[in-house]
Structure 1
Amino acid sequence: MGQQGRLQGKVALVTGAASGFGEGIAREFTAQGAKVAVADLNLEGARRVADEIGGIALGGDVARAADIQAMVEGTVSALGGLDIVVNNAGWTYRNQPSLDVEEEEFDRVFAINVKSVFLMAKSAYPALKARGGGSFITVSSTAGLRPRPGLTWYNGTKGAVNVFTQSLAQEWAKDNVRVNAVCPVMGVTGLTSAFMGVEDTPENRGRFLATIPIGRLSTPADIANACVWLAEDSSSFITGVLLPVDGGRTA
């Protein structure tokens, strides 16, 4: 769990936090002293995590402006402010030839992965600024740094949020709001089979692992630890960074 209290006194809003990376981030933020709003489309799952960590649960669709605004307002109202945002909610279609992707899948992946960050930026920035600064983190992907074939449009969503990160970092620096992205390699989540495009068998996973020098997939703890560092005060001079958490995949 590491050093305690690195986020003591801070308030965080984490999206997609009912499972996977988001749940890991919410749990580690709490362990490090933060008060956490657990936001997810799956409100029952969000309540489970929030009950276990002593946070609050917020339901909603990250691709809807009203839902994002309600998440921010609910966090500020219940927890007294907002210091950290983690845009973790994401989705992908199944890995396949790019021209086989349906228009509905294209629209959905851009709405969840890209539009959500735009909406959160608009809603959360005033609250972060009101605290004298804060940390706006997006869970991106190595797909936005070194794309693989078969996930072309998903890769494009991550490339977009990487550019958002670097541009917003420059715009918001004057108000001490830092903007960074964490870029994981594939992890063990509900989307593992979709990313691979095949059944998640030991043989198929082994072929994927051969492309990662450290030889394993990312874990929620890996991503959570990176987010803690980007959110804590010791990284106060770090902004506009796209941080690979990938076992050397993009080296």
Structure 2
Amino acid sequence: MSQLLSGQVALVTGAGAGIGRATALAFAREGLKVVVSDVDSASGEETVGLIRAAGGEATFICCNVTSDAEVKALVDGTVAAYGRLDYAFNNAGIEIEKGRLADGQEREFDAIMGVNVKGVWLCMKHQIPVMLAQGSGSIVNTASIAGLGAAPKMSIYSASKHAVVGLTKSAAIEYAKSNVRINAVCPAVIDTDMFRRACTSDPKKAEFAAAMHPVGRIGRVEEIAAAVIYLCSDNAAFTTGLALPVDGGATAI
């Protein structure tokens, strides 16, 4: 049992596809009310439709996480819709870098850092006061195994995920005595639409990706969702400041 309480409220950013969608659906299966957020309204509304079709309750709020005003409106809208915010999965992120550091472009740096770092910071900035006021809450941020080590030809992305780990750990300690827990998941290569598009241009990527994991395969979005549910649940009540690898053994090598 996950020990999430039916009727509680979860907010998921980047919930229009992939890990975000899988986690929104997982929260809904636990009986939670889910606020689905994404910069892409069509995909976000599709996630809401999937939740409702399965008998769950969900609302979509469009949000660009790089905008302070939009993130504030997202959190305020969540409270307005459901009265509280128990869990937040700050998952919105981008990955557009494909070359060595000296070949990088300033626009890539700004875009990656804007979504992956500023976006997580803004989300926590507005989520934490709500959780403090109600006396409890749990936040999970999406980092990456690229935030736990090196990621050649993805140096900016790696730096952004190291920053997410740093934000997570620092915030967790700041609020450790306030009954607000803050953790991160660090996925390896996961079977998402983004990954499949990459494999279309280079079929060998799928074989290489599988081989980099000692278990011999890439991960499934549902496996990351399960880790998020665990970190939010009372089963993880003594866990805060953790950057949890979900990586098929990749970081154990």
Cα distance in structure 2, aligned partners of 1:91 and 1:246: 19
Q: Is the 8 A contact 1:193 1:199 kept in 2?
A: no
- Name which of 83, 88, 98 aligns with 2:86: 83
Who is 2:9 aligned against? 11
CA positional deviation for 1:193 = 6.5
User: Per the alignment, in what secondary structure is the counterpart of residue 38 of structure 1?
Assistant: strand
CA positional deviation for 1:46 = 1.0
Q: Quickly say closer, same or farther: Cα 1:216–1:10, change in 2 above 3 A.
A: same
**One-letter amino acid matched to 2:131:** L
**One-letter amino acid matched to 2:248:** G
Q: Is the 8 A contact 1:95 1:195 kept in 2?
A: no
Farther-moved stretch of structure 1 (241-250 vs 4-13): 4-13
Who is 2:42 aligned against? 44
Cα distance in structure 2, aligned partners of 1:6 and 1:178: 14
Who is 2:169 aligned against? 166
**One-letter amino acid matched to 1:28:** A
**One-letter amino acid matched to 1:77:** A
CA positional deviation for 1:7 = 4.0
- In structure 1, stretches of 5+ residues that fail to align are none
Q: Structure 1 length normalisation: TM-score?
A: 0.93
Number of aligned positions between the proteins: 247
Cα distance in structure 1, aligned partners of 2:237 and 2:134: 15
Who is 1:219 aligned against? 220
CA positional deviation for 1:93 = 1.2
Who is 2:192 aligned against? 189
- Name which of 59, 73, 79 aligns with 1:56: 59
CA positional deviation for 1:140 = 0.6
Q: Quickly say closer, same or farther: Cα 1:5–1:236, change in 2 above 3 A.
A: closer
User: Per the alignment, in what secondary structure is the counterpart of residue 186 of structure 2?
Assistant: strand
Who is 2:140 aligned against? 137
Percentage of matched positions with identical amino acids: 38
Who is 1:233 aligned against? 234
Could you list the per-position Cα deviations for residues 199-227 of structure 1 after superposition, in whole angstroms to 9, with x for gaps in the alignment? Answer: 341x2211222110011112110110000
Q: Is the 8 A contact 2:198 2:205 kept in 1?
A: no
Cα distance in structure 2, aligned partners of 1:155 and 1:94: 10
Who is 2:54 aligned against? none
User: Per the alignment, in what secondary structure is the counterpart of residue 160 of structure 1?
Assistant: helix
Could you list the per-position Cα deviations for residues 33-80 of structure 1 after superposition, in whole angstroms to 9, with x for gaps in the alignment? Answer: 111100000112111111221300010101000110011011111011
Cα distance in structure 2, aligned partners of 1:77 and 1:89: 22
Farther-moved stretch of structure 1 (5-14 vs 69-78): 5-14
Who is 1:33 aligned against? 31
Could you list the per-position Cα deviations for residues 110-139 of structure 1 after superposition, in whole angstroms to 9, with x for gaps in the alignment? Answer: 000000111112111111112211101101
The alignment yields a C-alpha RMSD, in angstroms, of 1.7
**One-letter amino acid matched to 1:39:** S
- Name which of 62, 77, 81 aligns with 1:74: 77
**One-letter amino acid matched to 1:214:** V
Cα distance in structure 2, aligned partners of 1:128 and 1:215: 40
Could you list the per-position Cα deviations for residues 13-49 of structure 1 after superposition, in whole angstroms to 9, with x for gaps in the alignment? Answer: 1000010000000000110111110000011211111
User: Per the alignment, in what secondary structure is the counterpart of residue 129 of structure 1?
Assistant: helix
- In structure 2, stretches of 5+ residues that fail to align are 52-56
Q: Structure 2 length normalisation: TM-score?
A: 0.93
Q: Is the 8 A contact 1:92 1:195 kept in 2?
A: no
User: Per the alignment, in what secondary structure is the counterpart of residue 44 of structure 1?
Assistant: helix
User: Per the alignment, in what secondary structure is the counterpart of residue 183 of structure 1?
Assistant: strand
Query: Is structure 2 residue 110 aligned with structure 1 residue 112?
Result: no
**One-letter amino acid matched to 2:37:** A
Q: Quickly say closer, same or farther: Cα 1:210–1:71, change in 2 above 3 A.
A: same
Farther-moved stretch of structure 1 (213-222 vs 177-186): 213-222
